């Protein structure tokens, strides 16, 4: 039987930082650089992020993380792959995330998408995520996708830096 692989969306399949930088720049003219926000929570790094993530279109127009679609398509043949995204906090993101996946990852079945609040009840063999709050309680193999906010500490997880590296590691 295939192992079950759980894959986060924000900061893993979708590039939250590029979107937040773009939204801040368009609104304030201030260009925030990635090197200036290392180790900071996204909410602290981007002064208007709390409002921007609730703005219509924020999740629908998220840039796709480099090499993610080809990697997911490859990994689907090795694993029972589920997308697991915390979307409930921002209700407008529900259909935006659905439509975004349909556009950029059309080969993922609706059966394999989970939009949730807490990820604790979702069980799998491997979880790829960028947030400790999701990885720390996960009982099985946990891959920490490098993002500026998590660079200071691995918290005991396997750090991965790109989708190419993940495919090499997991296939």
136 is catalytic: no
Adjacent-strand bridge partners of 159? 144
> Are the C-beta atoms of 129 and 12 separated by less than 8 Å?
yes
SS3 50: helix
Candidates 28, 55, 118, 140: give the one binding its own copies (CB under 8 A): 118
What dihedral angle (degrees, nearest 10) is formed by the CA atoms of 163, 5, 121, 152? Answer: -30
Q: Rule CB under 8 A: is residue 1 a binding residue for its own copies?
A: no
Q: Shortest approach of its own copies to residue 114 CB, angstroms?
A: 4
SS3 6: strand
From 54-62, 63-71, 106-114, 160-168, span contacting its own copies (CB under 8 A): 106-114
Q: Rule CB under 8 A: is residue 124 a binding residue for its own copies?
A: yes
Give the strand pairing for 4-7 and 126-129.
parallel
Q: Give the span between the Cα atoms of 163 and 7, in whole angstroms.
A: 11
x/- letters, 53..92, toward its own copies (CB under 8 A): -----------------------------x-x--xxx-xx
Q: Rule CB under 8 A: is residue 103 a binding residue for its own copies?
A: no
> Footprint of its own copies on this chain (CB under 8 A)?
4, 6, 82, 84, 87-89, 91-92, 94-95, 98-99, 109-118, 121-124
Q: Which residues are catalytic?
A: 8, 10
């Amino acid at each position: 039987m295939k192992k079950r692989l759980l894959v986060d969306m924000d900061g893993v399949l979708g590039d939250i930082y590029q979107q937040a930088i773009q939204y801040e720049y368009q609104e304030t003219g201030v260009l925030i650089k990635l090197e200036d926000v290392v180790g900071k929570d996204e909410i602290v790094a981007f002064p208007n992020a709390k409002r921007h993530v609730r703005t219509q279109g924020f999740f629908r127009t998220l840039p796709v993380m480099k090499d993610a679609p080809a990697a997911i398509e490859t990994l689907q043949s090795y694993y029972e792959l589920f997308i697991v995204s915390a979307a409930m906090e921002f209700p407008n993101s529900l259909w935006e995330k659905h439509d975004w996946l349909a556009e950029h990852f059309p080969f993922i079945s609706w059966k394999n998408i989970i939009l949730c609040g807490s990820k604790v009840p979702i069980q799998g063999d491997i979880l790829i995520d960028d947030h400790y709050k999701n990885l720390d309680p996960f009982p099985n193999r946990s891959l920490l996708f490098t993002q500026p906010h998590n660079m200071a500490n691995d918290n005991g997880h396997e750090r991965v830096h790109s989708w190419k590296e993940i495919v090499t590691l997991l296939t």
